[in-house]
């Protein structure tokens, strides 16, 4: 997230207007082991997908699976918002989706392992409740992949 003071007025007011009630009781699960034993998945709301996958619609609560074995340099971004910088992502995919960094951490043993599949949503234009079905489906898929923790990157 950015400092509110670094935003132009219209964007600051836009973000401050998003004052929604809590989604429900806060969730908390303690980490079950040391970091070096945890299996981690990446999830982004940046609207990323591989070039040949279906692009995100203007408002879209679906998600795209991202195979961790594919080259992340083939990821494109069809996020509907124009209110954030894309030049950095154009230079380096890891700025938004740090798959290469996590592979390095797994190779060094800092984390236990990486999930086989990661997930991408497009976070714009809909209220959080719209994502409930997709999020529940992803939660099931993550359990199936024996994932312990998720690293979420919004844009």
Partner 1 sequence: MQPPRALWVPFPLGRPLGKPADPAFQINVILAALALLHRDRGPVLEDFPHDVPTLEATEAAACPVSFAAIPEQENSWQARLSNELTILQPWYELSLRRRNGRTLAGVSKETPQENIQTLATLLDEHKTPGDISWLKPAVEDIKAFYYEALTAQPGEYDSDALQHVFWQESSFGEAILVLHDIFDSAPDVQS
Under the criterion CB under 8 A, does residue 86 sit at the interface with partner 1? yes
Told to check if 10 binds partner 1 by CB under 8 A, we report no
Q: Which positions from 131 through 150 interact with partner 1, judged by CB under 8 A?
A: 149
Provide the minimum distance between the beta carbon of 64 and partner 1 in the complex, in angstroms, as a whole number. 13
Cβ closest to partner 1, residue 88 vs residue 140: 88
| Min separation Cβ 138 and partner 1, Å | 14
- The single residue among 41, 66, 96, 115 that binds partner 1, judged by CB under 8 A, is 96
- Side-chain half-sphere CA neighbours of 101 within 13 A: 10
What is the x/- site pattern for partner 1, positions 43-82, by CB under 8 A?
A: --------x---x--x--------------xx-xxx-x--
122 binds partner 1 (CB under 8 A): no
Helix or strand run (H / E) with residue 88? helix 87-91
Contact range with partner 1 by CB under 8 A, out of 59-67, 84-92, 113-121, 139-147 = 84-92
Q: Which of 154, 151, 153 is nearest to 40 (CA)?
A: 151
Smallest CA-to-CA distance from 118 within 49, 54, 59 is with: 49
Return the residue matching tokens 């951490």.
105
Please work out the total of residues on this chain that contact partner 1, with binding judged by CB under 8 A.
56
Query: What are the counts of helices (DSSP H) followed by strands (DSSP E) for the chain?
Result: 4, 7
To the nearest 10°, report the CA torsion of 133, 18, 98, 50: 50
């Amino acid at each position: 997230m950015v400092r509110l003071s670094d935003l132009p007025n219209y964007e600051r007011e836009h973000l401050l207007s998003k004052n929604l009630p809590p989604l429900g009781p806060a969730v908390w699960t303690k980490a079950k082991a040391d970091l070096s034993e945890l299996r981690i998945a990446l999830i982004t709301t940046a609207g990323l997908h591989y070039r040949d996958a279906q692009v995100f619609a203007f408002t879209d609560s679906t998600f795209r699976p991202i195979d961790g074995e594919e080259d992340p340099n083939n990821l494109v971004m069809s996020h509907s918002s124009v209110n954030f910088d894309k030049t950095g992502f154009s230079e380096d995919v890891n700025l938004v989706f740090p798959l290469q960094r996590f592979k390095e951490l797994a190779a060094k043993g800092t984390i236990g392992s990486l999930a086989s599949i990661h997930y991408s949503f497009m976070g714009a234009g809909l209220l959080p409740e719209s994502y409930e079905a997709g999020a529940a489906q992803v939660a099931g898929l993550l359990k199936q992949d024996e994932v312990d923790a998720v690293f979420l990157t919004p844009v």
